Amino acid sequence: MKQDRLDNVLHQMKEKNVPQLLISDPTTIFYLTDKWFHPGERLLVLVIREDGKHALVLNKLFPVNEDLGVDVVYVDDADNGIGILLDHLDTAKKIGVDKFWATHFFLDLMKQAGKSADDFVIGSDITDYVRARKTAEEVKLMQDAQKDNEIAMEKMKQLIPQKLTEMEMTKELAKVYDELGNTGFSFEPIIAYGANGADPHHVTDDSVVKEGDSIVVDIGAIKNNYASDMTRTFFYKSVSDKSRDVYETVLEANKRALAAIKPGVPFSEIDAAARDYITEKGYGKYFTHRTGHFIGIECHEAGDVSSANHDVVEPGMAFSIEPGIYLPGEVGVRIEDLVIATEDGYINLNDYPKELTIID
């Protein structure tokens, strides 16, 4: 296992008085072991204990051929897997349970252990806390992933004059990522022309760009197990005065949110920096989502930049800043950067230009 990450988890377990932790989320297991498991519906649990008696319980269909620094316990489909898991738990003590663990496994554990809900807590708060604070190694991996994403963004921009459909653009994007050595999308890309961009989560279709359209390009991929993500909005051949005003408003909101980032500042205040400006400009009801989300191995990780999140910025936290304005039936504009908080501010992982760009 990655000892530094395990040590951080154990420290948080001690802080929160959780003596043992059941981790079933494959992403978090990868984070700790550097190995992916995809068990489907079968049992997979990494047991972390304060006394060091850690164990990985999994189906024998997924053999481990390397030393993970943890006892590996195999079960097969005919075994009482939960009963075997219980052999590696101290049922006299509180148990932290993964928020993603299948309910039928959890209920079976409660039944076989003779426990009530009061004997369990959500343990994912511990691993989410640790994963949110990126190490120097993770920062480098995220920087590398984002560099490729900027190359992909430039390629998308260059393709716009060819008047490909949104779907065709997405297919070309997949080729670019493959050529760069990325291993697939980190989320389903959003290529949205004109009024389609007024839907923040538009599903790419066969639309073709028209003069005056905004072009929302929200893309990301996976490189070396870390996600990239960014959004830029372009215009095709011309831009109306109204669309220009929308764009400049979003750009200024993006800059104001970035300027608010520093350790100790609540995420709700960063959200307000963008939202209050957009509201001041008369577009408040058209900014219909939070200002950002956390990111790392997954494109969307626990934590966000929203009015409801009063947690404060800490060094190492990685998140997006992506205000947007969406005028139904008219235009959509979103500008997204990825940042990592530092001791005195932040690193912006994006160098790609944000000024209004008209593509001929």
Q: What is the pLDDT of residues 178-211, one digit of tens each?
A: 999 999 999 999 999 999 999 999 999 999 999 9
Please say whether the beta carbons of 267 and 312 come within 8 A: yes
Task: Identify whether the C-beta of residue 298 lies closer than 8 Å to the C-beta of residue 349.
Answer: no
Please tell me the distance from the alpha carbon of residue 113 to that of residue 92, in angstroms, as a whole number. 10
What token pair was written down for 290?
């939070």
Fold of 3-131: Creatine Amidinohydrolase; Chain A, domain 1 (3.40.350)
Residues 6+ apart with CB under 8 A from 122: 96, 97, 99
| pLDDT tens figures, 43-70 | 999 999 999 999 999 999 999 999 999 9
Which of 211, 212, 213 lies closest to 202, judged by CA?
Answer: 213
Q: Which residues does residue 337 pair with via DSSP β-bridges, in sequence order?
A: 321
Report residue 317 as tokens: 């936290």
- The mean per-residue pLDDT over the stretch 216-240 comes to 99
Average pLDDT score over residue span 243-254: 99
CATH number of 133-358: 3.90.230.10
- Confidence class for position 338, pLDDT limits 50, 70, 90: very high
What pLDDT was estimated at residue 268?
A: 99
Pairing state of beta strands 346-348 and 324-327? unpaired
What pLDDT is recorded for position 76?
A: 96
pLDDT at 250: 99
Q: Where in the chain is the domain with CATH 3.40.350.10?
A: 3-131
- Bridge partners, 331 (sequence order): 327
Percent of the chain, pLDDT > 70? 100
Nearest Cα to Cα of residue 70 among 39, 37, 41: 37
Average pLDDT value for the chain = 98
8 Å CB contact between 358 and 241: no
Alpha-carbon distances, residue 61 vs 38, 82, 84, 87 (angstroms): 11, 17, 16, 21
pLDDT at 56: 98
pLDDT in the model for residue 41: 96
CB 233 within 8 A of CB 270: no
Give me the pLDDT at residue 95, please: 98
Amino acid 237 reads K
* Positions of CATH 3.90.230.10 in the chain: 133-358
Concatenate the DSSP letters of all residues of 10-72 into one string: HHHHHHTT--EEEE--HHHHHHHHS-----TTS-EEEEEETTS--EEEEETTS---S--SSEE
Residue 21 — very low, low, confident or very high, per pLDDT cuts 50/70/90?
Answer: very high
Q: In this structure, are strands 190-193 and 214-219 parallel, antiparallel, or unpaired?
A: antiparallel
Average pLDDT over residues 321-346: 98
Q: How confident is the model at residue 259 (pLDDT cuts 50, 70, 90)?
A: very high
Rounded Cα distance between 109 and 96, Å, is: 12
Distance CA 295, CA 131 (A): 10
pLDDT in tens, 277-317: 999 999 999 999 999 999 999 999 999 999 999 999 999 99
pLDDT at 219: 99
